[in-house]
Amino acid sequence: MSVLRITGGRALRGSVRVHGAKNSVLPIFAACLVARGVTVIHNCPNIADVDAAMQILIHLGCKAERDGDTVTVDTSTMTNAEVPHSLMQEMRSSVIFLGSILGRCGEASISTPGGCELGPRPIDMHLAALRQLGAEITDNGGSLVCRANRLRGAKITLRSPSVGATENAILAACFAEGTTVISNAAREPEISDLQRYLRALGITVLGAGTPTIVVEGRLVRVDTAHRVIPDRIVAVTYLCAAAATGGEITLTDVNPAHFTTVTDALTNMGCAITRTGDSVTLSASGRLYALEPVMTEPYPGFPTDAQAGLMAACLRAQGTTSFIENIFDNRYRHADEMRRFGANIKLEGRVALVTGVKSLKAAPVKSPDLRGGAALVIAALSAEGTSEVSDIHHIDRGYDDLAGALTQLGAEIVRIDS
């Protein structure tokens, strides 16, 4: 079991490069099935979820090889339309492969991703979208079999702007005859990155970043290259860490426009933030201030993935900040662990009330999930004494060497693998 041992109290200083976005790479891997050729993907983070997605591609008969932060995927050799239960369980977002496997093979067989640490994560909108495109789907007690001899373009209106359902609908639509119009689509930057990749393949995809996306399906056989956008959630994790500890850090290779809701919040807390092109600098000194209510919303609203990190930055702020989690039912599991540091957090359903305390004390804590685990690292960095964060396999799913990056910024943090 691996742990991060962290001695808090050091202000973070220096500069760190932000790696590519997990939530972009995963759908782009699924989109490689559309290419039917070789895709060279640059800026691919070395994280467990990317490894799991590479294993899925290999299981499907494709080739996927890593060289540094470049992954080369060849889907011309695809032979299999089934993702086994073991791979589905490794990464809940493996459901993102459903639309493109179905489109490519005329069938797809996966198990339903289980109930997750963030609460139930149904896939009804994914399935409804695929059915509208012509898929027949049977659910044999957790194992889904999808078939479609032909997919046909359709008008799809999502009940809410689900990121994964938007991606699955776009990918299946690439194989459909005719035009698909997806309304109430998710507007996240990762959807725009997917559109950019598909356009490089020669597919007509319009509207990413708006609620209406139009896809013209067509058969392609293309070799291409793609550079994944920077990970906006990794970026804000580092910013929240520097806000919590004080100091001054610069992030390079970021797109600050992708996380203005978070930088605005940090500015309102009393941090000074400057942006220049693809970098952002945050400096913080003294006690920060509590915020007006922070409500998580689909993009361009405040991201649910940044809620835990910002909460960690609020633990010692002056006053009370209320968080309202609107996306997932169970995304406050870090709160119980944060209380071990002496944090004052009251939970009432979707609302968490965080009243800043003067100081936090080191404690042993367990990562409950990916972003919650990273938030506990932030809390430990700002606590007095030496803490241990365990269950860090959750953190490894989305952060490429978090301990290394924080060490570069002057944190006292070591990873102990046993």
Q: Which residue of this chain has its Cβ atom nearest to ligand EPU in the complex?
A: 164
Is residue 356 a contact partner of residue 316, using CB atoms and an 8 Å limit? yes
- Contact status: 124 vs ligand EPU (CB under 6 A): yes
Segment 315 to 374, residues that bind ligand EPU, using CB under 6 A: 327-328, 370-371
Q: Which is nearer to ligand EPU, 26 or 291 (CB)?
A: 26
Near ligand EPU by CB under 6 A: residue from 4, 30, 165, 411? 165
The whole-angstrom separation of Cα 194 and Cα 25 is 9
Tokens (6 digits) for 35? 């290419």
Q: Find the part of the chain contacting ligand EPU (CB under 6 A) among 121-129, 261-269, 333-341, 345-353.
A: 121-129
Q: Which is nearer to ligand EPU, 126 or 226 (CB)?
A: 126
Q: Of 155, 45, 23, 204, which Cα lies nearest the Cα of 96? A: 23
- Contact status: 246 vs ligand EPU (CB under 6 A): no
Is residue 174 a contact partner of residue 33, using CB atoms and an 8 Å limit? no
The question of whether 116 is a catalytic residue gets the answer yes
Tokens (6 digits) for 319? 């006053």
Q: Which is nearer to ligand EPU, 197 or 246 (CB)?
A: 197
Tokens (6 digits) for 64? 């996927």
The torsion angles phi and psi of 39, rounded to 5 degrees, stand at -120, 130
- Contact status: 305 vs ligand EPU (CB under 6 A): yes
Q: Find the part of the chain contacting ligand EPU (CB under 6 A) among 120-128, 142-150, 210-218, 380-388.
A: 120-128
Per-residue x/- mask for ligand EPU, residues 263 to 282, rule CB under 6 A? --------------------
Q: Which is nearer to ligand EPU, 6 or 158 (CB)?
A: 158
CA 393 → CA 2, 255, 281, distances in Å?
8, 27, 29
In whole angstroms, the minimum distance from the beta carbon of 190 to ligand EPU comes to 6
The torsion angles phi and psi of 235, rounded to 5 degrees, stand at -55, -50
Per-residue x/- mask for ligand EPU, residues 89 to 108, rule CB under 6 A? ----x---------------
- Contact status: 162 vs ligand EPU (CB under 6 A): yes
Q: Which is nearer to ligand EPU, 311 or 360 (CB)?
A: 311
Near ligand EPU by CB under 6 A: residue from 77, 86, 89, 160? 160
Active-site pick, 62, 116, 146, 240: 116
CA 385 → CA 8, 73, 344, 367, distances in Å?
6, 45, 19, 19
Segment 2 to 31, residues that bind ligand EPU, using CB under 6 A: 22-23, 26
Neighbours of 292 (CB within 10 A): 9
In whole angstroms, the minimum distance from the beta carbon of 99 to ligand EPU comes to 12
The residues, ordered by sequence, that sit 6+ positions from 37 with a Cβ below 8 Å of its Cβ are 74, 75, 76, 221, 222, 223, 224
Near ligand EPU by CB under 6 A: residue from 311, 398, 403, 413? 398
Reduce the secondary structure of 246-270 to three states and give it as a string: CEEEEEECCCHHHHHHHHHHHHHHC
Q: Which SS3 state, helix, strand or coil, does residue 285 take?
A: coil
Would you tell me which residues interact with ligand EPU (CB under 6 A)?
A: 22-23, 26, 93, 121-126, 160, 162-165, 186, 304-305, 327-328, 370-371, 398
